[in-house]
Amino acid sequence: MSVTGQVANPLVLSVENLQAYADQAIVKHNIPAMSVAVWKDGVLTQAAAGCLNINTGVEATTDAIFQIGSITKVMTTCLVMQLVDEGRVNLDKPVVHYLRDFMIADAEATQSITVRQLLNHTNGIAGDYFPDDEGHEGNLIARFVDRCSFLPLVHPVGEMYSYSNAAFCVAGRLVEVMRGMSWFQAMSEYLFEPLGMAHSIADPKEMIRFRTAMGHVYDGNNTDRWVLPERAFLSLGQAPVGSTPAMSAENLIRFARAHLEGGLNQQGQSWLSPESVKQMQVSQMELPKTSLLGTKHAGLGWGMNTYQAGNIKTVGHGGGTHGFYSMLQVIPEQNAAFAILTNGTRPSAIGGLTADFLSAVGGLNLQEPEPASTTALAALEKITGEYECLDTLIKVTSTGDKLMANILYKIDPLPPLDVELRHVEDLSFAAYNSRGERCLAIVFLKPNESGVPQYVFNGGRLNPRIR
């Protein structure tokens, strides 16, 4: 199915025209459906548009549940922080103090990785390991942690940032061991119930109770045609990472409001301590500079942006899973938040939607200034080479007067991407696709004595140089 269309006079998003904007946005971005919710000035506004499942034609409504992907990581972090509030977990103790059987391929790193480093992505564990657990029974989260024993380090523990899915499986297992219950039960009892998130599930067996969106993926390399994936959700073993949870956009706003309101639920009851709420939003590490508009930092679970214009800070997390993309952003100083849920594998759509909402809700202009010139190849020839992690293989070459990169996605259901790299500053580049659209930011890191970078930072992940 294709839903490509033309929007004659695209709307400028405002809270007042949210439904009309949603109706147009699914056509503009060619996505099956979306559900959005905004909290601003003490008022909740919602909208939904499109089709939840192209095979059945079920209409999207605001009470429909969509898989939220990696926004789940913030929720897993909250489950850990509740244990911190209770004095049962110390963030700066090694993980092995709580999980005796935790092990990665590097024995020294195994003994030193702390709980905090799991939650702020400075642990160094190669994070994009997605084993096929279909057909297996038992505790698949525990099984996943057992299988981490072969995962290598991508950087020395605590020295750099690299987004690690595997680390949050370990954090989810820590919750299970300390609570004496499954992570799925902990999500229900310690998060959904106290926050009144009645349209939320962690265990996909519960999806039949709700009006549920199906994910949609590209039909091979045809990015204009949608098909349903073979499986409705990914491995239960990676649930703490975001493979299974689904909820309505309004329920995500309930979660965001608890973080805006010092850990209180909507009945004024304490759910998470103010200290833990604050600590989750304290910078743990500044990320490599990918934007001229501001800086990015890692908190505990949360990602954070500080924009130079107005010195506005946002706290948030995105998600991408089996045919879904999502975004949750909180603007603490404005007591505002928004949630976007979509059921199509189109990264450009969630990027464009997020920019529109940050403008409408937060007053932010996210138009990046264009690079002043193309790459000075003579000075940057040492950048060329191949960089690889479990998720992607990036080949950087020079062609004529251009620096090019080919990105091969080894896990995500996305076609290979060829981009031109245009120099922004230092070793930071803007990547442009074949249509001339700016689509990525790539930073080369840790040049050796000869000036040859040892890493590429792409999408939050480090790709070590392999040749």
Per-residue pLDDT of 215-256, as tens digits, reads: 999 998 888 899 999 999 999 999 999 999 999 999 999 999
The answer, yes or no, to whether residue 367 has pLDDT greater than 90, is no
- Write the DSSP string, 92-114: TSBGGGT-TT---S-HHHHHH-B
- Write the DSSP string, 122-177: -S-B--------TT--S-HHHHHHHGGGGPPBSS-TTTS----HHHHHHHHHHHHH
Side chain identity at residue 409, one-letter code: Y
> For residue 421, what pLDDT is reported?
93
Side chain identity at residue 3, one-letter code: V
Structure tokens at 123: 């642990």
**Which three-class secondary structure state does DSSP give residue 43?**
strand
Structure tokens at 75: 């929720």
Report pTM.
0.95
For residue 4, name the pLDDT band (cuts at 50, 70, 90).
very low
- How far is Cα 129 from Cα 147, in angstroms, rounded to an integer? 10
Q: 93 with 119: CB under 8 angstroms?
A: no
- How far is Cα 13 from Cα 21, in angstroms, rounded to an integer? 6
**Catalytic: which of 35, 70, 248, 428?**
70
Once rounded to an integer, what is the mean pLDDT over residues 10-34?
Answer: 93
Q: CB within 8 A of 90, min separation 6: which ones?
A: 84, 97, 115
The dihedral built from the CA positions of residue 158, 69, 231 and 414, taken in this order, carries a sign that is: negative
Once rounded to an integer, what is the mean pLDDT over residues 395-412?
Answer: 90
> What are the backbone angles phi and psi of residue 280, rounded to the nearest 5°?
-65, -25
Q: Does the annotation count 398 as an active-site position?
A: no
Q: Which of 10, 22, 8 shows the shortest CA–CA distance to 357?
A: 22
Phi-psi region of 375 (alpha: psi -120 to 50; beta: other; left: phi over 0): beta
